[in-house]
Amino acid sequence: MTNDLKWSSYDFAQIPFDDITSIGQRTLLYRDLFNVSWLLGRYCNYKCSYCWPYARSDEKDHRPLSILTQTMDKIKSQARDNGFNSFHFSFSGGEPTVHPSFLELLEYYQGDIEECNYLSTHMTTNLSRSVPWFAKYAEATKNLHRVSITASWHREMAQKEPFREKLLFLQENDIHSTVNMVMVPEMFDEFYEEALFFHEAGINVTLKPQSDPTASRVVSGYTEQQWKLLHNGMPQRNYTKAALDKINIKTTRPKPTTSINEMREVKGDDLSVPLNLQVELEDSAGKKYYLDQAERFNAFEFNKFKGWQCNAGFQGIVIREPDGNIKRSYSCHDEPIGHILGDFKIFDKPKPCITPSCVSSVDSKIPKKRGL
């Protein structure tokens, strides 16, 4: 495999997926981390021609801040009862940045940071807000241990140069940034050129295979070379540190109460493996393999975990608006575990997966073990 930065020097295609018996994002395997994926509403200020009707709305469907903070408090309390005292809240939509109370919610989220071992946040955004708005976002999140953004590239609505400059601005403010590119088979080469535009500027790019409208499988039509790019192309790297080093700025983010490396070592993580290899897989002989991100599972069509013991619902939940349901995961066929306006109860232990496939990386990264 080439050492070109567009390719991974760690060949993900060598992972024996048929023999894998356990998987999980390393932060979830080796920390006391509870994961929340929160779809704040379907309202979006973009109208992309290819967007699925259920994925966006013209109606501002946001709940008031008081409901959001009450829900956040309940989640933290229940997670702590199960032994989790580190939290990762990921926000999406629609477009989360148009929620009128979004920055206030982030400030509330970190109000108990001194009682937490670790706090981080992520946002999936179309990056349509202005640089001054993102400056406010950087200020509102500066005291969190880690902040990251996935910027969805919508070529119908955005321009490449301003999009790139916003991402570089975020990296210079110690916010990890990734461009999300859905690689439509019929336009793969054109989209890949656009991906290179961002990648060559020192910005991570996720090359996502396109899923069908039911989000249950990857569409057909990819060539052998395109599959190779989806398997190993544009691996995630620590471009944020490189951006800070370039302007001679050191991170000012607080150090966690509990040393992350100490926690990882106690729980058995291999400290020699770079953290940008985010996902750990283990085969039947106990040998470990790594992926840079759970999004790559779909590229290998490794997303069927029915019958596996899964931590979804126990170590992570999903909140979906506008219906307000709280579920163990996006794809899960289970009944909701509750509602944002009523009672909900996080599982007190892992449970078997009953779902045919996980297309969302939110679901697939949650720790799982085969056949227990």
Mean pLDDT, rounded, for 103-121: 96
pLDDT of residue 167: 98
Share of the chain above pLDDT 70, in %: 96
pLDDT of residue 97: 97
Q: Which range has highest mean pLDDT (50-54, 167-171, 182-186)?
A: 167-171
Confidence of residue 23 (pLDDT cuts 50, 70, 90): very high
The pLDDT of residue 31 is above 80: yes
The pLDDT of residue 5 is above 60: no
Query: Nearest 5°: phi and psi at 363?
Result: -80, -45
Q: Which residue has the tokens 């996935």?
A: 150
pLDDT of residue 276: 87
pLDDT of residue 148: 97
Strand partners, 178: 150, 204
Mean pLDDT, rounded, for 35-57: 87
Mean pLDDT, rounded, for 190-199: 96
Q: Which residue has the tokens 């997303």?
A: 303
The answer to whether the beta carbons of residues 358 and 308 sit under 8 Å apart is no
pTM for the full model?
Answer: 0.93
Report the mean per-residue pLDDT for the chain. Answer: 92
Terminal C-alpha separation, the chain:
36
HEC sequence for 230-243: HHHECCCCCHHHHH
pLDDT of residue 255: 86
DSSP state at residue 340: T
- Three-state secondary structure call for residue 57: strand
- Determine the angle formed by the axes of helices 65-81 and 102-109, rounding to 10 degrees: 30
Confidence of residue 53 (pLDDT cuts 50, 70, 90): confident
Q: Which residue has the tokens 């579920």?
A: 327
Exposed/middle/buried for residue 248 (C-beta within 10 Å: 0-12, 13-18, 19+): exposed
pLDDT tens, 303-345?
Answer: 999 999 999 999 999 999 999 999 999 888 889 999 999 999 9
For 141-177, where are the alpha helices, taking DSSP H only? 160-172
pLDDT of residue 59: 85
Confidence of residue 3 (pLDDT cuts 50, 70, 90): very low
pLDDT of residue 7: 63
pLDDT of residue 1: 33
Q: Please name the residues in contact with 320: beta carbons below 8 A apart, sequence gap of 6 or more.
A: 39, 326, 327, 330
pLDDT of residue 57: 85
The answer to whether the beta carbons of residues 232 and 7 sit under 8 Å apart is yes
Architecture of domain 31-257+319-357: Alpha-Beta Barrel (3.20)
100-109, 176-185, 205-214, 258-267: least confident range: 258-267
pLDDT of residue 307: 95
From the centroid of its chain, how far is CA 321? 18
Q: How many C-beta atoms lie closer than 10 Å to residue 263's C-beta?
A: 18
Confidence of residue 2 (pLDDT cuts 50, 70, 90): very low
Of 78, 74, 104, 92, the closest CA to residue 342 belongs to: 74
Mean pLDDT, rounded, for 275-283: 93
Mean pLDDT, rounded, for 19-38: 96
Confidence of residue 118 (pLDDT cuts 50, 70, 90): very high
Q: Could you tell me the sign of the dihedral formed by the alpha carbons of 229, 52, 65, 130, in that order?
A: positive
Domain boundaries, the chain: 31-257+319-357
